[in-house]
Amino acid sequence: MTTTADLFVELVAILKKNALLASCGSALSWDEQTYMPPGGAETRAEQLALIAGMVHERATQPRVGELLSELEARVDIDERPDRSVVVREARRIYSRQTKLPQKLVEELSRTTTLAQQAWVAARKASDFTQFESWLEKILVLKREEAAAIGYGQGVPYDALLDDYEPGANAAAITATFAALRDELVPLVTAISASKKKPDTSVLERRYPMNAQQAFATQAARSIGFDFDRGRLDTTAHPFCTGLGPGDCRLTTRYNEQHFPGAFFGVMHEAGHGIYEQGLDAMGFGTALGETVSLGIHESQSRLWENLVGRSRAFWQHFFPAAQATFPEALTGVGLDEFHFAINSVRPSFIRVEADEVTYNLHIMLRFEIEQALIAGDLSTRDIPGVWNETFEKYFGLTPPNDAQGCLQDIHWSAGLIGYFPTYALGNMYAAQFFEAADRQLGGLFQQFALGEFQPLKHWLNQQIHSRGKRLRAHELVQTVTGESLSAKPLLRHLHARFGGLYGLSVES
């Protein structure tokens, strides 16, 4: 008789080999965004489509279903919790993937590879019409995907959202965002009315690219990103990709007249990378070595970028090094002046450069638009107009061109529809985790001022990263913080930081 252990070993072997094959596709995707010449797009699209098809074929092979059914039927599987987690998550993925035709999977991969190249060109030309037909093709395919997966009593968008944030749905997120918006609007109004204003011109002086790269690398290394197991490169849109144990890639983009863009981009992506590097290498390919959700992943990047990287304590430690690295730009600039500048709150066009207070409004705009696109209530040709109209309503600004408007993000060209809401969820998770860490470790800001970031990094490794997918997002938050997800920690953080900087009363 075949033992439960034998069945489990066979299942894990299949999962690990499939993860290795998928990582080959990730490596090709990373190369496409960093070093591939434009002329390679057609061939790269076929390469990635081939790998996507192979991954799908292996992941949906009947033997996987047989193994899962046999393991689920065995009582003794429950006596080994880690095995139960692997089987539970493998079943979830198997059920989802077996509903998708291989032809659709391959076509999505091929189309999004070419669409990303078209997006780069369209963004450079600031011309949405160059990208419109590609987005329409992607939307048709994503609607097919949603229909194939199913969405119960919900809406098609729920099927896509579930891929990034398991268990979430558009209705619940809409309600959460509405409550958050109601609290943010008065804060934004109070900040706008404040007579205290930062001098942001100090951030728009000349910051040489090579010096930016060296300084950002130093900061990323200090907070815990291991460059012996990762690297930093340049791309059109910052991202992080984990290719497997020992290989994590960060990217950013540089503007010599805008210091925050690249620096906080690196801090953000390093947060993702620290999560990837903190996963259990032995669990690679299984739920034991995978991240919980995109919202939890974003919590790690937003935590290091904002709660740590924009804190005064962080710059108490790093500002002398910044002055030495950028003497032309920062000579004569004080710590408080610089700290106020990097925490300036004002409506801006670019999401990845937005301040903490207005950032979530950028997410809400995208969330609304992509729901309408999937539902068929919004035509692709109307996106620029609707984007600008909604942006004006939220921010009081009208984007001057498509590059600073609807073409600024890579996500739609990559087929990542349903991804954006996880950014705002990540902000809420981040603040809640940070409060818990501060309680347990005692005085995080005092540690940062001394250049001590490892206690927080190790706490995150233990409480979040090493757990893999043993807990779902809502369970993880409850376990780590003792409370269910709430926007209150984020709002407390925003009021404390920006209330102090802008001289607001508690009532404001």
Give the separation between CA 114 and CA 41, rounded to whole angstroms. Answer: 6
Q: Which residue has the tokens 């160059």?
A: 130
Helix (H) or strand (E) holding 261: helix 259-278
269 is catalytic: yes
What is the rounded (10 degree) CA torsion for 444, 352, 183, 165? -80
Helix, coil or strand: residue 250: strand
Q: What element of type H or E holds 180?
A: helix 170-193
Q: How many C-beta atoms lie closer than 10 Å to residue 317's C-beta?
A: 17
* Integer-rounded Cα radius of gyration of the chain: 23
Distance from C-alpha of 400 to C-alpha of 124, rounded to nearest angstrom? 14
Mind spelling out the 3-state secondary structure of 28-79?
Answer: HHHHHHHCCCHHHHHHHHHHHHHHHHHHHHHHCCHHHHHHHHHHHCCHHHHH
User: How far is it, in rounded angstroms, from Cα 302 to Cα 431?
Assistant: 9
Pairing outcome for strands 230-234 and 240-244: unpaired
Residues ≥6 apart with Cβ < 8 Å to 115:
131, 134, 135, 137, 138, 413, 414, 415
Q: How many CB atoms lie within 10 A of CB 274?
A: 25
User: Using an 8 Å Cβ cutoff, are 496 and 314 in contact?
Assistant: no
Among 411, 407, 419, 423, residue whose Cα is nearest residue 361: 423
Which one of 106, 107, 145, 269 is the catalytic residue?
269
Residue 324 has which token pair? 């030495």
Shortest CA distance to 73 belongs to which of 126, 2, 25, 159?
A: 2
Say if CB 295 and CB 473 are below 8 A apart: yes
Catalytic residue IDs: 269
